[in-house]
Structure formats: structure tokens, C-alpha cells
Amino acid sequence: MADLHIKINRDKGGIAGQIASELRDSIRGGRLAPGTRLPATRDLATDLQVSRGVVVEAYEQLVAEGFLVSRVGVGTQVTPKTAARVNNTRQRGTAPPRPKPVRRAPGTPACAPYYGHRPTSPDLSHFPRERWLAAVRHVLTTVPSDALDYGDPGGVPELREELAGYLRRVRAADVRPENLVIVGGVAQGLSLVLHVLTQHRTLRLAVEDPTSNRQAPLLRRAGAHLVPVPVDEQGLDVRKLSGDAVLVTPAHQYPTGVVLSPPRRAALMEWAYAGNRAILEDDYDAEFRFDRDPVGCLQGLAPDRVILSGSVSKALAPGLRLGWVAAPAELAEAIRRARGELDLGSPVIDQYALAHFLRTGGYDRHLRRMRREYRRRRDALVRALAEELPEVRVKGIDAGLHVYLELPGDWDELRTVRAAQELGLSAEPVGPMRELPGPPALVVGFARLPAHKAAEAVWGLKVRMSGQSVD
């Protein structure tokens, strides 16, 4: 049994988070070796003089993140770094059937409009205009002239410093400023990563199925060959995974809204380590988890294997075109060099403004306010659906800016989407997001649907869809 040396600051609050953070650091630092058994929650609670529920919460968080595994009869232990789990997931019985690679003519877009409002767009009427302007004013009245010259294509150092702290704190990422490249959003982040990864070899990139159909043309243009892998209630089905790398949305799968389960996280890690493969983690809306703290990012678990991409598109506005890639230092340097030879980096004023916004707490305050608001909106929509349209199944966790609605088998996907759009809802069919067969479903964004209008919208949908066999 390990001696954990956990230090708690009782004045700070968030005791479970503190315990989780201390344990995470110990596992990363090697002080808690893979396979080490942890004390029973009851014992640790007594040692630390906290309630048992607090320790349970900390353990659960780390299990969800993949640092710990918990098994009946064995207790909780630090995730072993053996290939044992690969055997569990991949060699049980015969090999899983390999899905066919996706075929689509190069350059053929998978979706018609390539800009405008999306189901994942935030409510931009809440964009903090005054506070953003104040941040820009701060920048323009304080930065030295040289800051406006040709800049580091990897991004403004002040922003990388602030972001590294933010991602460590909020996403449990294992990241330092030199791992970060500031980019123009997740799309550019992925383009650049694939540009570098495909420079000297072909890359078979496994993608979740269903997945955002906006990304497929982007991934192909960047040189990747896509291999769809099915997603179920536990997220990506790792047993069916093949390819040289994988693109996943572990915190909140797009579009299904499920979270990658702890065994799957562990299996995914094993897959990556077993074949020296890369995991591209798209952390597109992890700021918005409503029922609990978001699951820490995969990158924090395996910073040498995982390339994390995120942006301010959901937290602030897509129009800012501001995001980041966190990658192992060598790859980060290759991406930075690529940007130095592609577009010389992102505009600097907004980078300084975001650094200021992060440093002064404006970003966190805005997120807290929006989280409360979006939670109300999601709750209202889900409640209205349960009351008026119980045959429509809301899937996925309590998070993000969209819900995934599985429709009764006899509903027409496109008709439902059109009906939703007529009601002013931001809706998209899931069909075009699939290569593999699946039930009819749609994605509905709720960020712009005020809570008090949810019932009316769902009622309208019910009316429209009840007449579906009439006209």
C-alpha cells in the first residue's frame, strides 16, 4: 500500500479536487508507480480527516481520466503500463472486422454550407464585448512596439504561459509553454498537425463514426486517409480501432455526446503505446460540463502520445479564430516551424488580449456565467423533450452546447431537421456524419434557445412531426 503524502489546504476548498491533483502529480512524477495499489477510500479518508465521499470523488475523477483503475476484488490501483489490457480488448476471440476506409472524391465537401451558425456555436449575444474591448485597450496602451512586428509563429509567449497554466488547472493537461502552439482554432490545429505528420509518410487516421462531417474534408485535404471506427455508449470502440493515429473527442464525443469510458481510455492509451501511434484529442467544448467537473484531458495522461487541440470558439466566439495545440516538444517545434513557413503565425493583438483576459480572471468569470446559462437551457430543452416527445431519446452526458437526439425508427431524419430549423432551432442531420449505418438522429444546438422558449419549440416540433404521415 502506498504512502501518499497528500497535502490538503483546508482554507482553499475543493478538497476532492486537491486530492485528485496531488495523486495525479504523484503518478506523473513516478512517485506512484504503475500498478501501485491505493488505500481503501475509508482508510484514506480517516488518514486525511475528510469524509469518505470526498476520497471517492477524487478516485472517481482519476478513474475517469485513466490514471487509476478500480476493479472488484483488487481495489483501486494506478493504471498498469503493461500490454495486458491490449490483450483484454483486442485479442479476445478473433480480431474485429476492419472497417472499410472511407471513400469520397477528394475535395468533395461532405456538407453544403461551410460557414455561419452551427449547432455548436455559442450564444454570441453574450460575447463580453466591453471586457474584450478593455483587454484590447490594455494591449494597445501597454505592449512595446516590437510586439507588433513579425512575431514568434508559435504564438505570443505571454499567451502560451497563461494558457499552459489554464490547461493544467482546468483540463488537467500536462503542458508547458514550449508544448503550445497558438493557432487559428481547432481546424487549423488539426491541419497543421496532419501537415507535419504526413510530410514523410502516408497516415491512416482513425476517426469516430459518427463524427463532425465538417472535419472530413479538412482531414483529407491535410493528407490523411480516414478509417471510420464506430462509437457506442462508451465512446470510441477501441477494439475496432486500426490506423496509424486516431482523432477522438473523449470529453464529449461529437455528435453523440457520450464520454469515453475509463476502460476505453486505458485501452486507447495501450493502443497508442503498443504501436507508437498518435492520439489527436479534440477538446472542442470541454469548458461546458454541467453535472460535475469535466473529465481531465487524455493529454494529461500521456503527454508524449497525445496531441491536444482546443480553442476559444465555444467559450468566447468562433470569429476570434484563436486556439491552441499542445504537443510533445519536438512535434510542437515542427508545427511552429511549419507555421513560420506557411503563414507566420496568428495575429498578435488578440493573443495579448486573451492572455490579459486569462490573467485577470475575465475568462473564468465569463465561463462560469455561461455555464450556468447553458445548463439552464439544456435542462429546459431536455425536460420539454421528455414531456412532449418521450419517443425521442436524448443521448450523451450533461455537457456542451448541443444535444444528440435519437429518433424513432420511422421518423425521417431530414424532415425532422427541417422542422426543427423552421422553428429557429440550429439542427443538423447525423446521417451525413456517418460512414457506418446507424439509427436516424439529429444534433440540436441549444446555446441560442432561451430556457423559457424550450417548451414552445419542442411543442412546435411535436406538432410538425405528428403530421409527418399526413402530407
Nearer to a second copy, 117 or 365 (CB): 117
CA distance readout (Å), 158 to 9, 199, 230, 348: 29, 30, 40, 11
The answer to the question of residue 43 lying near a second copy (CB under 8 A) is no
Q: Are strands 441-445 and 402-406 parallel, antiparallel or unpaired?
A: antiparallel
The answer to the question of residue 212 lying near a second copy (CB under 8 A) is no
For the segment 155-184, give every residue that binds a second copy (CB under 8 A): 183-184
Q: Are strands 235-236 and 224-232 parallel, antiparallel or unpaired?
A: antiparallel
For the segment 190-209, give every residue that binds a second copy (CB under 8 A): 191, 199
Least Å distance, CB 239 to a second copy, is: 31
Q: What whole-number distance in Å separates Cα of residue 459 and Cα of residue 117?
A: 23
**Which of these, 335, 343, 342, lies nearest to 197 by C-alpha position?**
335
Q: Which of 2, 8, 40, 136 forms a contact with a second copy (CB under 8 A)?
A: 136
Element at 357 (helix H, strand E): helix 348-359
Nearer to a second copy, 42 or 129 (CB): 129
Nearer to a second copy, 17 or 217 (CB): 217
Q: Which of 92, 98, 100, 221 forms a contact with a second copy (CB under 8 A)?
A: 221
Please, is 8 exposed, middle or buried when counting C-beta atoms within 10 Å of its C-beta (0-12, 13-18, 19+)? middle
Least Å distance, CB 354 to a second copy, is: 11
For the segment 78-117, give every residue that binds a second copy (CB under 8 A): 107, 109, 114-117
Least Å distance, CB 132 to a second copy, is: 7
The answer to the question of residue 356 lying near a second copy (CB under 8 A) is no
Letters for 303-342 (x = contact with a second copy by CB under 8 A, - = none) are ----------x---xxxxxx--------------xx-xxx
Question: The dihedral of CA 252, 258, 262, 267: what is its sign?
Answer: negative
| Residue 5: CB atoms within 10 Å | 9
Least Å distance, CB 140 to a second copy, is: 5
Q: What whole-number distance in Å separates Cα of residue 44 and Cα of residue 37?
A: 12
| Residue 409: CB atoms within 10 Å | 8
Binding residues for a second copy (CB under 8 A): 107, 109, 114-118, 121, 124-125, 127, 129-130, 132-133, 136-137, 140-141, 145-153, 183-185, 187-188, 191, 199, 217-218, 221-222, 313, 317-322, 337-338, 340-350
